[in-house]
Amino acid sequence: MKKGMRLFSVALVLVVFALMALGSGGASNSTSENKDADSATSVTTESGTQNESSSNTQKPAESENPYEVGDGKVAVYKNSIGSVWVQISVPVKNTGEANLYLSSGTMDLEDKDGHLVESRSMVSVYPQVLKPGETAWYYEETILDEEPSSDLKVIPHVDVEKASVDCIRYEVSDLSLADDTYGGVKLTGRVENTTDEDESMPYVIAFLYDANDEFIGQAFTIMDNLKAGEKMGFSMSTTSSNDALKAENVDRYEIYAYPIQFQF
Protein backbone atom coordinates (compact mmCIF):
# COMPACT_ATOMS: atom_id res chain seq x y z
CA MET A 1 0.00 0.00 0.00
CA LYS A 2 2.77 2.42 0.95
CA LYS A 3 4.66 1.47 -2.17
CA GLY A 4 1.59 2.23 -4.25
CA MET A 5 1.13 5.60 -2.56
CA ARG A 6 4.73 6.50 -3.28
CA LEU A 7 4.35 5.64 -6.95
CA PHE A 8 1.16 7.67 -7.09
CA SER A 9 2.89 10.66 -5.47
CA VAL A 10 5.82 10.47 -7.88
CA ALA A 11 3.42 10.27 -10.79
CA LEU A 12 1.46 13.25 -9.48
CA VAL A 13 4.63 15.31 -9.09
CA LEU A 14 5.69 14.48 -12.65
CA VAL A 15 2.28 15.51 -13.94
CA VAL A 16 2.52 18.82 -12.07
CA PHE A 17 6.01 19.53 -13.44
CA ALA A 18 4.81 18.69 -16.96
CA LEU A 19 1.89 21.08 -16.63
CA MET A 20 4.19 23.84 -15.31
CA ALA A 21 6.60 23.31 -18.19
CA LEU A 22 3.76 23.52 -20.68
CA GLY A 23 2.49 26.71 -19.05
CA SER A 24 5.93 28.26 -19.09
CA GLY A 25 6.44 27.45 -22.76
CA GLY A 26 3.06 28.95 -23.69
CA ALA A 27 3.84 32.16 -21.79
CA SER A 28 7.24 32.39 -23.50
CA ASN A 29 5.69 32.05 -26.96
CA SER A 30 3.04 34.63 -26.10
CA THR A 31 5.67 37.12 -24.93
CA SER A 32 7.69 36.58 -28.10
CA GLU A 33 4.64 37.17 -30.27
CA ASN A 34 3.78 40.34 -28.36
CA LYS A 35 7.30 41.64 -28.78
CA ASP A 36 7.13 41.02 -32.52
CA ALA A 37 3.77 42.74 -32.69
CA ASP A 38 5.07 45.76 -30.75
CA SER A 39 8.07 45.98 -33.06
CA ALA A 40 5.88 45.93 -36.17
CA THR A 41 3.57 48.53 -34.65
CA SER A 42 6.54 50.75 -33.85
CA VAL A 43 7.82 50.59 -37.41
CA THR A 44 4.38 51.30 -38.79
CA THR A 45 3.95 54.22 -36.42
CA GLU A 46 7.28 55.75 -37.43
CA SER A 47 6.47 55.30 -41.08
CA GLY A 48 3.06 56.78 -40.58
CA THR A 49 4.54 59.76 -38.75
CA GLN A 50 7.00 60.37 -41.55
CA ASN A 51 4.30 60.12 -44.20
CA GLU A 52 2.05 62.46 -42.27
CA SER A 53 4.90 64.89 -41.81
CA SER A 54 5.77 64.86 -45.50
CA SER A 55 2.14 65.42 -46.49
CA ASN A 56 1.42 68.22 -44.02
CA THR A 57 4.70 70.14 -44.00
CA GLN A 58 7.05 71.53 -46.61
CA LYS A 59 9.96 69.46 -47.83
CA PRO A 60 13.36 70.15 -46.27
CA ALA A 61 15.24 72.95 -47.96
CA GLU A 62 17.99 70.66 -49.19
CA SER A 63 15.47 68.63 -51.23
CA GLU A 64 14.26 71.73 -53.08
CA ASN A 65 16.08 73.61 -55.81
CA PRO A 66 17.90 76.44 -53.99
CA TYR A 67 17.71 78.62 -57.09
CA GLU A 68 15.22 80.23 -59.46
CA VAL A 69 15.53 80.34 -63.24
CA GLY A 70 14.05 83.63 -64.44
CA ASP A 71 12.39 84.48 -67.72
CA GLY A 72 14.93 84.29 -70.50
CA LYS A 73 15.13 86.87 -73.27
CA VAL A 74 15.91 86.51 -76.94
CA ALA A 75 16.73 89.68 -78.86
CA VAL A 76 17.48 89.71 -82.58
CA TYR A 77 19.54 92.52 -84.11
CA LYS A 78 21.04 93.49 -87.43
CA ASN A 79 24.41 95.12 -87.11
CA SER A 80 25.87 97.84 -89.29
CA ILE A 81 26.92 95.39 -92.02
CA GLY A 82 23.58 93.55 -92.10
CA SER A 83 24.51 90.42 -90.14
CA VAL A 84 21.66 88.95 -88.08
CA TRP A 85 22.66 88.44 -84.48
CA VAL A 86 20.72 86.81 -81.67
CA GLN A 87 21.31 87.67 -78.01
CA ILE A 88 20.24 85.00 -75.48
CA SER A 89 20.11 85.79 -71.78
CA VAL A 90 18.72 83.69 -68.90
CA PRO A 91 19.02 84.73 -65.22
CA VAL A 92 19.53 82.29 -62.35
CA LYS A 93 19.15 83.58 -58.79
CA ASN A 94 20.59 81.84 -55.73
CA THR A 95 17.61 81.62 -53.35
CA GLY A 96 19.28 79.25 -50.89
CA GLU A 97 21.72 79.69 -48.03
CA ALA A 98 24.83 78.14 -49.60
CA ASN A 99 27.05 79.09 -52.53
CA LEU A 100 26.15 77.49 -55.86
CA TYR A 101 28.30 76.37 -58.78
CA LEU A 102 26.92 76.84 -62.29
CA SER A 103 28.21 74.98 -65.32
CA SER A 104 27.53 75.76 -68.96
CA GLY A 105 24.05 74.93 -70.25
CA THR A 106 21.97 74.37 -73.36
CA MET A 107 19.47 76.89 -74.75
CA ASP A 108 16.73 75.86 -77.19
CA LEU A 109 15.15 78.59 -79.30
CA GLU A 110 11.53 78.12 -80.37
CA ASP A 111 9.30 80.10 -82.71
CA LYS A 112 5.75 81.17 -81.84
CA ASP A 113 4.42 77.74 -82.85
CA GLY A 114 6.83 75.88 -80.57
CA HIS A 115 9.06 74.61 -83.36
CA LEU A 116 12.79 74.36 -82.66
CA VAL A 117 14.69 77.02 -84.57
CA GLU A 118 18.13 76.74 -82.99
CA SER A 119 19.81 74.89 -80.13
CA ARG A 120 22.93 76.31 -78.53
CA SER A 121 25.04 74.07 -76.29
CA MET A 122 27.91 74.99 -73.98
CA VAL A 123 26.35 78.39 -73.26
CA SER A 124 28.55 80.21 -70.74
CA VAL A 125 27.34 81.49 -67.39
CA TYR A 126 28.72 84.40 -65.38
CA PRO A 127 29.76 84.27 -62.59
CA GLN A 128 30.17 80.54 -62.06
CA VAL A 129 30.20 80.63 -58.25
CA LEU A 130 27.11 82.37 -56.96
CA LYS A 131 26.53 83.66 -53.44
CA PRO A 132 23.08 83.60 -51.75
CA GLY A 133 20.91 86.39 -53.13
CA GLU A 134 23.08 86.95 -56.23
CA THR A 135 21.98 86.50 -59.84
CA ALA A 136 24.09 84.96 -62.59
CA TRP A 137 23.37 85.09 -66.31
CA TYR A 138 23.60 82.43 -68.98
CA TYR A 139 24.53 84.52 -71.99
CA GLU A 140 25.34 83.98 -75.62
CA GLU A 141 25.48 86.04 -78.78
CA THR A 142 25.69 84.35 -82.14
CA ILE A 143 24.95 84.93 -85.83
CA LEU A 144 21.84 83.38 -87.38
CA ASP A 145 21.75 82.15 -90.95
CA GLU A 146 18.61 84.18 -91.60
CA GLU A 147 16.31 86.55 -89.77
CA PRO A 148 13.53 84.63 -87.93
CA SER A 149 9.98 85.19 -89.15
CA SER A 150 8.61 85.56 -85.61
CA ASP A 151 9.73 86.33 -82.09
CA LEU A 152 11.78 83.59 -80.47
CA LYS A 153 11.44 82.03 -77.03
CA VAL A 154 14.31 80.46 -75.08
CA ILE A 155 13.91 77.12 -73.28
CA PRO A 156 16.86 76.94 -70.85
CA HIS A 157 18.54 73.78 -69.61
CA VAL A 158 20.81 74.89 -66.77
CA ASP A 159 23.33 72.98 -64.68
CA VAL A 160 23.42 74.09 -61.02
CA GLU A 161 24.77 72.37 -57.92
CA LYS A 162 26.04 73.21 -54.47
CA ALA A 163 29.52 74.72 -54.64
CA SER A 164 32.43 72.77 -53.26
CA VAL A 165 34.90 75.49 -54.26
CA ASP A 166 35.30 78.84 -52.52
CA CYS A 167 33.72 81.98 -53.92
CA ILE A 168 36.69 84.20 -54.82
CA ARG A 169 36.11 87.76 -55.98
CA TYR A 170 38.58 90.52 -56.79
CA GLU A 171 38.06 94.17 -55.93
CA VAL A 172 36.98 96.44 -58.80
CA SER A 173 37.39 100.21 -58.73
CA ASP A 174 37.84 103.39 -60.82
CA LEU A 175 34.96 102.49 -63.14
CA SER A 176 33.91 104.53 -66.15
CA LEU A 177 31.22 103.87 -68.79
CA ALA A 178 31.13 105.54 -72.22
CA ASP A 179 30.05 104.99 -75.81
CA ASP A 180 32.41 102.82 -77.79
CA THR A 181 33.88 104.16 -81.02
CA TYR A 182 32.63 101.17 -83.00
CA GLY A 183 29.15 100.93 -81.44
CA GLY A 184 27.88 99.69 -78.12
CA VAL A 185 29.43 100.82 -74.86
CA LYS A 186 32.87 100.55 -73.30
CA LEU A 187 33.64 100.10 -69.60
CA THR A 188 37.05 100.72 -68.05
CA GLY A 189 38.31 100.19 -64.53
CA ARG A 190 40.87 98.47 -62.33
CA VAL A 191 40.96 95.05 -60.72
CA GLU A 192 42.95 94.28 -57.60
CA ASN A 193 43.94 90.73 -56.68
CA THR A 194 43.43 90.80 -52.92
CA THR A 195 44.28 87.11 -52.52
CA ASP A 196 47.68 85.53 -51.95
CA GLU A 197 47.62 83.58 -55.23
CA ASP A 198 48.49 84.70 -58.77
CA GLU A 199 45.82 84.32 -61.44
CA SER A 200 46.78 83.87 -65.09
CA MET A 201 43.37 84.66 -66.64
CA PRO A 202 40.95 86.54 -64.37
CA TYR A 203 37.46 87.12 -65.75
CA VAL A 204 35.74 90.52 -65.64
CA ILE A 205 32.03 90.67 -66.46
CA ALA A 206 29.50 93.51 -66.32
CA PHE A 207 25.71 93.17 -66.59
CA LEU A 208 23.96 96.24 -67.97
CA TYR A 209 20.42 97.32 -67.03
CA ASP A 210 18.14 100.09 -68.30
CA ALA A 211 15.93 102.48 -66.31
CA ASN A 212 13.23 99.76 -66.05
CA ASP A 213 15.83 97.42 -64.53
CA GLU A 214 15.72 95.27 -67.65
CA PHE A 215 18.85 93.41 -68.69
CA ILE A 216 20.10 94.93 -71.96
CA GLY A 217 23.57 93.47 -72.45
CA GLN A 218 26.92 92.63 -71.02
CA ALA A 219 30.56 93.53 -71.40
CA PHE A 220 33.25 90.94 -70.86
CA THR A 221 37.01 90.53 -70.91
CA ILE A 222 39.73 88.15 -69.77
CA MET A 223 42.73 89.84 -68.21
CA ASP A 224 46.29 88.57 -68.32
CA ASN A 225 48.43 87.51 -65.36
CA LEU A 226 47.08 89.33 -62.33
CA LYS A 227 49.57 88.63 -59.55
CA ALA A 228 48.72 88.43 -55.87
CA GLY A 229 48.38 91.94 -54.44
CA GLU A 230 48.56 93.57 -57.88
CA LYS A 231 46.11 96.17 -59.24
CA MET A 232 45.69 96.31 -63.00
CA GLY A 233 43.51 98.28 -65.43
CA PHE A 234 41.09 96.79 -67.98
CA SER A 235 38.90 97.93 -70.85
CA MET A 236 35.99 95.97 -72.24
CA SER A 237 33.12 96.54 -74.66
CA THR A 238 29.73 95.07 -75.39
CA THR A 239 29.82 92.54 -78.19
CA SER A 240 28.57 92.67 -81.75
CA SER A 241 24.85 91.95 -81.48
CA ASN A 242 23.59 95.38 -80.47
CA ASP A 243 25.92 98.09 -81.67
CA ALA A 244 23.03 100.59 -81.27
CA LEU A 245 23.34 100.37 -77.48
CA LYS A 246 24.39 103.71 -75.99
CA ALA A 247 25.79 104.66 -72.60
CA GLU A 248 22.72 106.84 -72.01
CA ASN A 249 20.57 103.68 -72.11
CA VAL A 250 22.49 102.13 -69.20
CA ASP A 251 20.96 103.07 -65.87
CA ARG A 252 23.12 100.75 -63.76
CA TYR A 253 25.47 97.81 -64.07
CA GLU A 254 26.79 94.98 -61.92
CA ILE A 255 30.41 93.95 -62.28
CA TYR A 256 32.30 90.87 -61.10
CA ALA A 257 35.99 89.98 -61.27
CA TYR A 258 37.04 86.46 -60.35
CA PRO A 259 39.43 83.62 -61.23
CA ILE A 260 38.50 80.71 -63.46
CA GLN A 261 37.33 77.87 -61.22
CA PHE A 262 36.42 74.27 -62.02
CA GLN A 263 34.36 71.87 -59.94
CA PHE A 264 34.41 68.14 -60.60
Using CA atoms, how far apart are residues 208 and 186, in angstroms rounded to an integer? 11
Residue 139's pLDDT is what? 95
Using CA atoms, how far apart are residues 259 and 201, in angstroms rounded to an integer? 7
HSE-CB for 124 with a 13 A CA cutoff: 11
Using CA atoms, how far apart are residues 110 and 88, in angstroms rounded to an integer? 12
Buried b (16+ CB within 10 A) or exposed e, 120-142: beebbbbbbbbeeebbbbbbbbe
CATH number for region 64-162: 2.60.40
Please give the CATH architecture assigned to the domain spanning 171-258.
Sandwich (2.60)
Instruction: Please give the chain's pLDDT, 264 residues, in tens.
Output: 444 444 444 444 444 444 444 444 443 343 333 333 332 222 222 323 333 333 343 444 444 789 999 999 999 988 778 888 899 999 999 999 999 999 999 999 999 999 999 999 999 999 999 999 999 999 998 888 888 888 999 999 999 999 999 999 999 999 999 999 888 899 999 999 999 999 999 999 999 999 999 999 899 999 999 999 999 999 999 876 666 789 999 999 999 999 999 998
pTM given for the model: 0.73
